[in-house]
Amino acid sequence: MSDLKKTAPDPETPAADVNEDVSGDVKVAAVSPTGAVDPRLLVREQGFKGYANDFVRRVRGGELGSLPVIVGLIIIAVVFQSLNDSFLSASSLSNIGVYTAGLGIMAVGVTFVLLLGEIDLSIGSVAGVGAALWAVLSVTHEMNDWLSVVIAIAVGGLIGLVHGVFFAKVGVPAFVVTLAGFLGWSGLQIWLMGDEGTINTPTGSIVEDLSGYYFADKAAAYAVATVAVLAYLGSLLLDAKRRRAAALPHRPTSEIALRTGVIAVIAFAVAYVLNEPAGARGLPLALVIFLVIVVLADFVARRTTYGRQIFAVGGNAEAARRAGINVDKIRITVFGIAGTLAAVGGLFIASQSGGASKSLGAGNMLMNVIAAAVIGGTSLFGGRGNIWSALLGALVIISIQQGLNLQGMESEVQFMITGAVLLAAVVIDSVSRRTQKTAGRT
């Protein structure tokens, strides 16, 4: 038994225990034992060709990400602008910005749920309950404006948590739980509204400002654009510096400059359009709030352990459980986030439509919210997608609505076109998923 095959220890393998904590100090790491680094690791150092190859590899592998939706947005802009040259006018774009906020905030919540591989059908009803609750508390019962807003949002979150508990703990499919919620909460909404058909937004209230307030000072839009660009540049530089210190592949300065340049052009173009042309009203508050929510949500999803756990549960719940992740907790809290953001979105919708009503959140709003998230590139099958897809998808849907409104088209055409766009998005998702599967096996 003593003949342990302690064959000549591999001379290439340093005897060092990899598990010693090496995260802190700088080491000549990343040089593989044989000295040769895998050639496929060098994508970043081949210049433009490397990027092109990397891009082709991603597309072949089915990682389309947000590419289709950006192409779609450009097509939408070109088509509608050629049909009606007021589509890209200041007031039209400003409207798109404001209306995108309400839909987009709800879509952020749904994106979290989709990342889990689940669906939330109650978004519209919860938005309606949030708006109705706020209106009844604030207008009918004359409660403090801020307090009623906070209560409305908190109740939205609570509703989401209830859905999550039924889904995670009881094991009812999320589809059914939220379908029940869809009906039940819209009943609660109608009951809350009572005899009132609609409760108008009081002038000077917070909810009115949500979509009605514009920063008239031109400096505001430019300042926000500058801060955003600088923050983006700063995060890229910091990341590159840390990676260089750790001897890991990092973005070359040229790429950082290019990325920052693209972001800067977009940010300042938006700021310019909101500020300068005739009829411009300045930076809408709605857009600021929406962007803050998107940036925060994106940070949570991509940079925190919580976000990583959401992706893990969405990718393979059993693997996540074996890795010691509290799957139930993730599921419940994600539905809580969706409910919270649905209520916030409901307040925005109430603000845009002039008040809470019995039918707020009914109709095709739910479908638009889910469509926004999916069109943006978040997979219906879980584990793939990002928060920015909510913004891009909401932009697509609102742009189509705005364009068709300018053409004087009726809502039936809007429904059909939005339906077709959603179908196209889901087809792309399914096909790219299939491509990923085949690319995933060799």
Partner 1 sequence: MPNEPVLALRGVSKRFGAVQALTDVDLEIRPGEVVALVGDNGAGKSTLVKTIAGVHPIDDGAIEWNGRPVQIQRPHDAQELGVATVYQDLALCDNLDVVANLFLGSELRTATVLDEVAMEKRAKELLDTLSIRIPSVRIPVASLSGGQRQVVAIARALIGDPQVVILDEPTAALGVEQTAQVLDLVERLRERGLATLLISHNMADVQAVADRVAVLRLGRNNGVFSVQDTSHEEIIAAITGASDNAVTRRQARTTEASK
Residues that bind partner 1 (CB under 8 A): 1-7, 9-10, 12-14, 16-19, 22-23, 27, 29-34, 38, 40-41, 43, 61, 63, 239, 242-243, 246-248, 303-306, 308, 311-312, 314-316, 318-320, 322-325, 382-384, 436-437, 439-442
- The string of DSSP codes covering 32-51 is -TTSPPPGGGGGGGSHHHHH
Least distance in angstroms from the C-beta of 295 to partner 1: 14
Least distance in angstroms from the C-beta of 18 to partner 1: 5
Residue with tokens 């540049």: 233
Q: Where are the alpha helices (DSSP H) in 33-66?
A: 47-60
DSSP state of 280: -
Least distance in angstroms from the C-beta of 382 to partner 1: 8
User: Any idea what the Cα angle at residue 355 is, between residues 122 and 93, rounded to 5°?
Assistant: 85
Which helix (H) or strand (E) segment holds residue 356: the answer is strand 355-357
**For partner 1, which is the closer residue by CB, 259 or 321?**
321
Least distance in angstroms from the C-beta of 328 to partner 1: 15
**For partner 1, which is the closer residue by CB, 101 or 325?**
325
**For partner 1, which is the closer residue by CB, 1 or 170?**
1
Residue 419: phi and psi, rounded to 5, are -60, -45
Least distance in angstroms from the C-beta of 38 to partner 1: 6
Least distance in angstroms from the C-beta of 71 to partner 1: 23
**For partner 1, which is the closer residue by CB, 78 or 296?**
296
**For partner 1, which is the closer residue by CB, 115 or 428?**
115
Question: Which tokens hold the place of 77?
Answer: 């802009």
How do strand 198-200 and strand 214-215 relate by DSSP bridges? Answer: unpaired
How many Cα atoms within 13 Å fall on the side-chain side of residue 320? 22
Least distance in angstroms from the C-beta of 425 to partner 1: 19
Burial class (CB in 10 A: 0-12, 13-18, 19+), 334: buried
How do strand 198-200 and strand 355-357 relate by DSSP bridges? Answer: antiparallel
**For partner 1, which is the closer residue by CB, 264 or 300?**
300
What is the distance, to the nearest Å, from the Cα of residue 219 to the centroid of all Cα atoms in its chain? 28
| 79, amino acid identity | V
Spatial separation of the C-alpha atoms in residues 421 and 427, rounded to whole Å: 10
**For partner 1, which is the closer residue by CB, 250 or 358?**
250
What is the distance, to the nearest Å, from the Cα of residue 20 to the centroid of all Cα atoms in its chain? 38
Least distance in angstroms from the C-beta of 55 to partner 1: 14
**For partner 1, which is the closer residue by CB, 222 or 381?**
381
**For partner 1, which is the closer residue by CB, 254 or 305?**
305
SS3 89: coil
Pair 214, 285: CB distance under 8 Å: yes
Pair 418, 375: CB distance under 8 Å: no
Least distance in angstroms from the C-beta of 24 to partner 1: 8
How do strand 283-284 and strand 214-215 relate by DSSP bridges? Answer: antiparallel
Beta-carbon contacts of 304 under 8 Å, excluding residues fewer than 6 positions away, are none
**For partner 1, which is the closer residue by CB, 8 or 278?**
8
Pair 256, 202: CB distance under 8 Å: no
Least distance in angstroms from the C-beta of 417 to partner 1: 31
